[in-house]
Amino acid sequence: MTLKEQFDQQGYLILENFNTDSACDELMQRGRELVDGFDYSGHPSIFQTDEQVRTSDDYFLDSGDKISYFFEKDAIDENGKLKSDLFHSLNKVGHALHDLDPIFNQYSRSLQMAGLAKELGLEDSLIIQSMLILKHAKIGGVVDIHQDSTFLYTEPETCIGFWFALEDATIENGCMWAMPGGHQTSLRSWFKRKAEGGGTEMQMFDNQAYSIDGMIPLEVKKGTCIVLHGLLPHYSKPNTSGKSRQAYAIHTINRHAHYPTENWLRRDLTELKGIC
């Protein structure tokens, strides 16, 4: 069975030893350097004002073509102060690392990624989003069950995710969970910009609740690449261990699909590059 046939059947692939330990270390080191250079004075999540919700929304909605920093929900006290150091207060960094940083660009468009894209028939895909996900020890929070196409909606549906384990991912430190074949369903919702007044909303297509029955833990070693179909429901639990679970993720869409302006993430698709 080819990789594409496995992917079409399961809705995901687990590719062990996809990246070397040294490549993973280089990406984590680069992430730390970016955080160390981040001046968070004036960040809407830190300096709470009467317009905090609006300014936080604006920061998020403007992050599609930038390198932006997002905090864990419990990282800030009632006075707007960080409870820990900056690095261990962050949830993730995104969403244009793959375009704006040479190290992340090289990792995202490596020779092995180009080969994988061709095997999966993704020569016409564009990288539209990237995230360094930190999932710190003890404080890395839940990621609720979701479909990636909810957040990167196209007509027809074309979103594919690539999730790279930069460290071992285990049940204890919050590995991903998914159901084999769970992508054989419809899109439940669309996370989009509000038509008026700014901010975002969730447009529901199907109010049926997700079920975790049949979902299995995707425990993987450092260097593994997990490929995710855009319709595959998946989630991760909190990191209750003493070890972090850093990961890097990119998402692609087909360059020929319709990408509505209502999507939360806005990019000029004519300027985007693919994997190959």
Instruction: Return the percentage of the chain with pLDDT > 70, whole number.
Output: 96
Any domain includes 117: yes
31 assigned to some structural domain: no
Q: What is the mean pLDDT of residues 125-133?
A: 98
The verdict on residue 52 lying in a domain is no
Which residue bears the tokens 């968070």? 40
pLDDT digits (tens, 9 = 90+) for 167-223: 999 999 999 999 999 999 999 999 999 988 788 999 999 988 898 899 999 999 999
Residue 40 placed within a domain:
no
Distance CA 210, CA 234 (A): 10
Assigned domain for 12 exists: yes
pLDDT at 147 over 50: yes
Residue 182 falls inside a structural domain: yes
Checking if the pLDDT of 229 tops 60, the result is: yes
Region 226-240: what's the mean pLDDT? 97
The answer to whether the CB of 221 falls within 8 A of the CB of 165 is: yes
Specify if 74 maps to a domain. Answer: no
The model's pTM is 0.95
Question: Alpha-carbon distance 245 to 236, whole Å?
Answer: 11
pLDDT value, residue 42: 85
- Can you read off the two tokens belonging to residue 228? 């995710």
In the prediction, which pLDDT does 49 show? 44
Helix (H) or strand (E) holding 128: strand 125-133
Q: What is the pLDDT of residue 56?
A: 61
**How many other CB atoms sit within 10 Å of the CB of residue 86?**
16
Query: What pLDDT is attached to residue 73?
Result: 84
User: Angle 111-119/3-10 helices, nearest 10 degrees?
Assistant: 70
100 burial class (0-12, 13-18, 19+ CB within 10 angstroms)? Answer: middle
Q: How far apart are CA 66 and CA 84, in angstroms?
A: 25
Check residue 55 and give its pLDDT. Answer: 55
What does the pLDDT look like over 33-77, one tens digit per residue? Answer: 999 999 998 888 775 444 445 556 889 999 999 999 999 988 888
Residue type, 114: A
Mean pLDDT over the full length of the chain: 94
The strand order across the sheet containing 234-236 reads 143-146, 234-236, 176-178, 216-218
Domain at 163, CATH number: 2.60.120.620
Q: What is the pLDDT of residue 47?
A: 57
How confident is the model at residue 78, as a pLDDT? 83
Q: How many CB atoms are located within 10 Å of the residue 228 CB?
A: 24
Residue 83 lies in a domain: no
Looking at the structure of the chain, the number of domains it has is 1
182 DSSP 8-state letter: T
Residue 257 backbone dihedrals phi, psi, to 5 degrees: -75, 155
For tokens 């199907």, what's the residue? 206
What letter represents residue 13's amino acid? L
Structural domain of 200: 3-20+95-271
Rounded Cα–Cα distance for residues 95 and 91 (Å): 13
DSSP 119: H
